């Protein structure tokens, strides 16, 4: 028997070598590409084991062939698996996340993302091809004999990969009970079941979410309506309607995080104009972005609907056909003209389709602007030119209007010509962080120019302004450099959550300034804007609450289920004392866990079931 097994192993040595190479390559990427850490021996065992079942299955598909085709298929399948690993690596370097199927189908964004991904490539990535080159060499030098297909091989392949996978799942369940209910925690899934298996599981999750709309019933929205009524917060009577009839100008500030506000680099202010504007505005210093893979589109969705985006992919792509009770629709019913100005392709993030669902009257896309080689860089029209050209478009609109302007220059990879640099780069091991400061400074200057021209054109006094950062610009991948800037030895999960704060300024000309410390997020902007304009939100389905309400809870939940209050931060399953940043008793976080989970679950229920069609 032993001799027979040995002979079989020798016969399949080429296939087994390919499996071993793929497992080793995956493990090395876990450690050095995705920086996945092990807290105990069992977790390290899982990292070593979890690539095996998928590798056996993928490479084993070559057993369906024979002769020279079989050996060729080993190369092809190894290459396909390597491409999957590499695309995840590139994506992870910027987003600190793993690819999902909805992201892969966002093909209309591919051309615009090309430059960003080129920046993420590294010459060391070539090591991913070494095993494939070795396998090709073995075939070339005829070290691998041709083999006929045996009938039982495919069945044996399926059984072997399934047994290995079940063994893997058994150990993973010991390490992390109820693992497969945590689809939102992609790193946890990859860590326990493997990257290739994760993509199969993600396909199942996405197909399940698609089915929810088919089986949704009108009664499904009743739970949401009850929850909304129970959590409705009365507006502050002193603020309600104070901006009625005024224009609303919203500035979505690309990749702007709060850590640059009121800070200096080499003795120079990073955001001098915003710092001054804070002194004339309502400023919220504990305001968090709540986006996930949808980035800017997620922030738009949150602000327009007071609903959360998906935990994977972008709602703008996956649910653009849903019914929404969006802010532009509400404003239209109350006599407002609504528009978006963004000097990018109208199809990027599927905006042309989604804006129709939101009820915008006009989308001024790239065709509405004059874009030349001289006035563009990186992702397109530079912010100064964008704002300057937007003034004329604003003047053509009926009043009162609601207009959102989305900036571009402070976008990864943070490119800027020398003539536009008003502050030096930072000096760290991260080129991304180093370049971030000059582009932030340039954006700040562009906003200042915009306000100056609004005053010159007579548009300033009769408008209110909402300025907010749309999402993070510096991901967890750059924590080492970020800790250098912040003057810390290292950044903890607590610090990472605090870095998700983005600026929010509500500027109403003539109003006294104040700094508001309420913990809040982008989901709170819709009810806040509606109440400032004197629009009743009692019958609207929202998961945010008015930032000025005397009844609001100081609370924000992030899309990854982390949540923050005045006193605690909960993330990665750990409760932190907000004052000290140190771990504290989990019981301090427990009273808020149900609300955090319920907010996300009910919001997802609305989106996946398209429940607002029943409202």
Active-site positions read: 296
Residue showing tokens 């896309």: 365
Let me know: does 192 contact 170? Beta carbons within 8 Å.
no
Q: Give the span between the Cα atoms of 604 and 212, in whole angstroms.
A: 10
Whole-angstrom distance, CA of residue 229 vs CA of residue 148: 69
Q: In 302-400, which ranges are E strands? A: 337-341, 362-364, 376-377, 380-381
Question: What is the three-class DSSP state of 197?
Answer: helix
Dist CA 535 CA 527 (whole Å): 9
Token code pair at residue 292: 């996930």
Could you tell me if 429 and 483 are in contact, meaning their C-beta atoms sit under 8 angstroms apart? no
The pair phi, psi for residue 565, each rounded to 5°, is: -130, -170
Cis ω on the peptide bond leading into residue 400 (within 30° of 0)? yes
| Sign of the four-CA dihedral 442, 445, 451, 456 | negative
* 341 and 544 Cβ atoms separated by less than 8 Å: no
Q: How many CB atoms lie within 10 A of CB 89?
A: 21
Q: Are 147 and 68 in contact (CB under 8 A)?
A: no
Q: Which two tokens stand for residue 425?
A: 């780069």
- Give the integer Cα–Cα distance in Å for 587 and 14: 55
Class of residue 393 by CB neighbours under 10 A (exposed 0-12, middle 13-18, buried 19+): middle
CB 33 within 8 A of CB 87: no
- Long-range contacts for 414-422 (Cβ within 8 Å, ≥24 apart)? 414/378, 414/438, 414/439, 414/473, 415/377, 415/378, 415/439, 416/377, 416/378, 416/442, 417/377, 420/377, 420/382
Q: Determine the distance from the C-alpha atom of residue 43 to the mean position of all C-alpha atoms in its chain, rounded to a whole number.
A: 27
């Amino acid at each position: 028997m032993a001799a027979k097994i040995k002979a079989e192993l020798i016969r399949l040595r080429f296939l087994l070598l390919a499996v071993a190479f793929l497992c080793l390559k995956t493990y090395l990427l876990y450690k050095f590409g995705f920086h996945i850490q092990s807290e105990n021996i069992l977790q390290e065992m899982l990292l070593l084991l979890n690539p095996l079942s998928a590798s056996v299955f993928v490479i084993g598909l070559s057993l369906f062939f024979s002769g020279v085709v079989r050996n060729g298929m080993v190369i092809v399948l190894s290459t396909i698996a390597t491409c999957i690993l590499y695309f995840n690596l590139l994506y992870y370097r910027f987003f600190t996340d793993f690819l999902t199927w909805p992201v892969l189908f966002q093909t209309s964004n591919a051309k615009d993302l090309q430059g960003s991904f080129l920046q993420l490539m590294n010459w060391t990535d070539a090591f991913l091809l070494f095993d494939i080159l070795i396998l090709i060499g073995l075939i070339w030098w005829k070290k691998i004999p041709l083999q006929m297909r045996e009938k039982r091989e495919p069945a044996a392949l399926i059984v072997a990969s399934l047994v290995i996978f079940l063994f893997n799942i058994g150990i993973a369940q010991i390490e992390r009970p109820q693992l497969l209910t945590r689809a939102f925690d992609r790193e946890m899934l990859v860590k326990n079941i493997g990257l290739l298996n994760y993509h199969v599981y993600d396909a199942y999750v996405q197909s399940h979410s698609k089915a929810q709309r088919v089986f949704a019933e009108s009664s499904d929205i009743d739970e949401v309506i009850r929850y909304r009524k129970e959590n409705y917060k009365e507006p502050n009577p002193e603020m309600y309607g104070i901006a009625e009839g005024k224009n609303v100008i919203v500035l979505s500030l690309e990749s702007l995080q709060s850590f640059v506000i009121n800070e200096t680099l080499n003795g120079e202010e990073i955001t001098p104009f915003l710092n001054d504007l804070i002194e004339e505005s309502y400023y919220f210093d504990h305001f968090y972005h709540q986006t996930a893979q949808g980035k800017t589109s997620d922030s738009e969705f949150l602000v327009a609907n007071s609903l959360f985006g998906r935990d994977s992919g972008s709602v703008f792509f996956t649910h653009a056909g849903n019914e929404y009770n969006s802010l532009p629709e509400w404003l239209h019913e109350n006599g407002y003209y609504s528009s978006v100005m963004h000097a990018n392709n109208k199809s990027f993030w599927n905006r042309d389709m989604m804006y129709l669902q939101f009820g915008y009257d006009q989308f001024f896309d790239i065709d509405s602007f004059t874009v030349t080689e001289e006035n563009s860089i990186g992702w397109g029209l530079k912010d100064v030119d964008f704002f300057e050209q937007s003034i004329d478009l604003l003047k053509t609109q009926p009043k009162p209007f609601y207009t959102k302007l989305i900036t571009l220059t402070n976008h990864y990879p943070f490119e800027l010509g020398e003539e536009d640099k008003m502050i030096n780069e930072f000096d760290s091991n991260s080129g991304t962080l180093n370049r971030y400061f000059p582009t932030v400074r340039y954006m700040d200057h562009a906003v200042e120019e915009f306000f100056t021209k609004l005053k010159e054109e007579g548009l300033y006094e009769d408008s209110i302004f909402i300025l907010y950062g749309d999402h993070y610009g510096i991901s967890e991948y750059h924590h080492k450099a970020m800790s250098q800037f912040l003057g810390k030895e290292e950044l903890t999960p607590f610090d990472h959550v605090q870095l998700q704060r983005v600026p929010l300024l509500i500027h109403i000309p003539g109003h006294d300034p104040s700094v508001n410390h309420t913990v809040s997020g982008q989901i709170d902007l819709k009810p806040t804007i509606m109440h400032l304009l004197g629009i009743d939100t009692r019958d609207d389905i929202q998961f945010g609450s008015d930032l000025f309400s005397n009844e609001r809870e100081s609370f924000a939940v992030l899309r990854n289920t982390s949540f923050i209050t005045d006193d605690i931060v909960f993330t990665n399953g750990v409760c932190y004392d907000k004052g000290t940043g140190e771990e504290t008793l989990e019981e301090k976080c427990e009273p808020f866990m149900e609300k955090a989970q319920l907010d996300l679950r009910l919001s997802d229920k609305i989106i996946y079931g398209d429940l607002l069609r029943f409202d």
